[in-house]
A and B are shown apart, each in its own frame.
Chain A
């Protein structure tokens, strides 16, 4: 009924600046990035030639890049496990109705408000690798509690170093996962719980068979969100260790290549990051779009 340009013209006009700007700065720049990644522009010199997928082949067979991918995987696994574990436990404990719930919630969630750079300042100190008499930070705590054997070099450890870097990230984002889960717990209809109680289900069985199964969509989106964050980890590593080989992930490797004006290589790393992220983005967008249509 409300057809015709007089109806749809104005709203389209109102949103068109955003469409154009994002068309340039999101889609246009992604295209430009892919274009640069297929050239041999490895220095400031503007001349460049098309080299196809050469940069990708070179990167994926480079030890340094594979090492950064390994670091990323290590970081991601520990980070996801930690945030999901703490986030879930906290939400579960708070779900059952706790006095002063607001205080616990606020404390668990507050690290989210702090920047990675600021928290990096204190975590670099907590994760100080000195041991024994010279130990400070967490190693000092272990030392004084008689748990000296727990002392370690944290991010200086050869294989497990990235697991130490994941600790501050877990500290910052577990509260966020808690908030997601808590919304999930509270979204379980009260009638469902009542019904289970009437049937004589114990508290544990109520959770095991009634509440937990309802949480799987939340768990899935928490998983997607946290993995997506993990993929982009940059600030935290830069502020704790700087861009060093030992804690290098693709995002910090890209910083190193771009600051040395190797545009082609940094664009190649960026495209690979985008492809990895798409594994999470595209299903999410398809789902959003479908529910959009369903709601019409």
Chain B
């Protein structure tokens, strides 16, 4: 299988996003529609504007009356000689978040890879190498995706205390792998149902075993599925705050916790640092979204209720 062979299959994960040819007529209605579309773009981007401009202003320039304006000086200039500059927000945020950013990569990447791999195996046997009552097993697995995690949090915290698990990303890694299994299984199962598998059937008829068929025939076709689950899992682990709050502390926890700490501490003093920190902490998931947006949407669609 070559990469080009897989391209149309990737498109299938992107449900119904084909674009009809725009009608080239300039009417009042069409113009009005564009006006509204552009207004909405500006409205949606307001918080981004605020984040960016504020992050480059020294604290003295973040006053009520100047709060919406562009920075009035370069980010390397200070208000009073020797005072804090706009760049100090960024260095401050970096110092506060850098260790947590590193930890979050160590959390989100393995969580994404491991859940995806197990999910691929599950999805394979639940769609293409079935056994009696596979539907019931599938529903059994799927249920875990829809529960509010609060419903398991009290005993989970008790379990962590009893077993003496650390309040750091190793515990969170385990938790994200486990609770990522249902969605990864779902995505792969739906993906395998959607692609033709004559080769697999042939291999099965030839008497090849399950694991060999999976490894040599199914896995090479699975790249689009992996892209979707890895993005999904990476984003949820990266953005997670609930498990982080309940199971880790700021000295060993992920970036969401560190950012919250930075922001809550900055209640009065320095919005600039908090906003620079928010941008820093959002950068990885934003990059994933910008580069692989199509697959991101694919995950959203199958991830529906989560």
Contacts and interface: CB of A to CB of B under 8 A. Distances in A.
Nearest to B287: A113
B264 A232 contact: no
A273 B44 contact: no
B269 interface: no
B155 A101 contact: no
A110 B300 CA distance: 12
Given A90-B40, A186-B18, A15 B293 contact: no
Contact of B263 (A187, A228, A239): A239
A269 interface: yes
Contacts of A101: 19, 22
Contacts of A112: 289, 300
Contacts of A292: 135, 138-139
A69 to B, nearest CB: 14
A277 B58 CA distance: 45
Contact of A183 (B210, B256, B301): B301
Nearest to A32: B155
8 contacts: A11-B210, A19-B141, A29-B151, A107-B45, A112-B289, A125-B271, A141-B68, A225-B305
Interface of A: 7-12, 14-15, 17-19, 21-22, 25-26, 29-30, 32-33, 36, 86, 90, 93-94, 96-99, 101-102, 104, 106-126, 130, 133-137, 140-141, 144, 171, 175-176, 179-180, 182-184, 186-187, 221, 224-225, 228, 231-232, 234-235, 238-239, 242, 250-251, 254-255, 258, 263, 266-267, 269-271, 273-274, 277, 280-281, 284-285, 288-289, 292-293, 296
B33 A224 contact: no
B42 to A, nearest CB: 10
Nearest to A293: B135
B304 A29 contact: no
B20 interface: yes
A26 B152 contact: yes
B143 A281 contact: yes
Main secondary structure of the interface of A (DSSP, over half): helix
A281 B152 CA distance: 16
B81 interface: no
Contacts of A288: 139, 142
Interface stretch (B2-10, B174-182, B221-229): B174-182
Contact of A114 (B41, B246, B282): B282
A147 to B, nearest CB: 14
A249 B94 CA distance: 33
Interface in B17-70: 17-23, 33-34, 36-37, 40-41, 44-47, 50-51, 54, 64-65, 67-68
A224 B149 CA distance: 17
Contacts of B246: 255, 258
A273 B150 contact: yes
Interface stretch (B72-80, B83-91, B163-171, B233-241): B233-241
A266 B51 contact: no
B contact residues, range = 35 or more
Contacts of A126: 46-47, 50
Contacts of A271: 151
Given A141-B68, A293-B135, A22 B181 contact: yes
Interface in B128-165: 129-132, 134-135, 137-144, 146-159
Nearest to B29: A203
B220 interface: no
Interface of B: 15-23, 33-34, 36-37, 40-41, 44-47, 50-51, 54, 64-65, 67-68, 118, 121-122, 124-126, 129-132, 134-135, 137-144, 146-159, 178-179, 181-182, 185, 209-211, 235, 238-242, 245-246, 256, 259-260, 263-264, 271, 274-275, 277-279, 281-282, 285-286, 288-290, 293, 296-297, 300-301, 304-305
Given A14-B121, A235-B256, A277-B148, 8 more contacts: A11-B129, A17-B118, A32-B155, A86-B40, A117-B278, A137-B67, A140-B67, A270-B154
Contacts of B65: 133, 140
A108 B42 CA distance: 10
A267 B20 CA distance: 51
B283 to A, nearest CB: 10
A12 B140 CA distance: 14
B44 A11 contact: no
A267 B156 CA distance: 11
Interface centre among B47, B132, B211 (most CB of A within 10 A): B47
Interface centre among A15, A119, A125, A239 (most CB of B within 10 A): A15
Given A14-B121, A234-B242, A239-B260, A30 B152 contact: yes
A36 B259 contact: no
A7 B44 contact: no
A140 B15 contact: no
Given A284-B305, A288-B139, A97 B125 contact: no
A251 B68 CA distance: 34
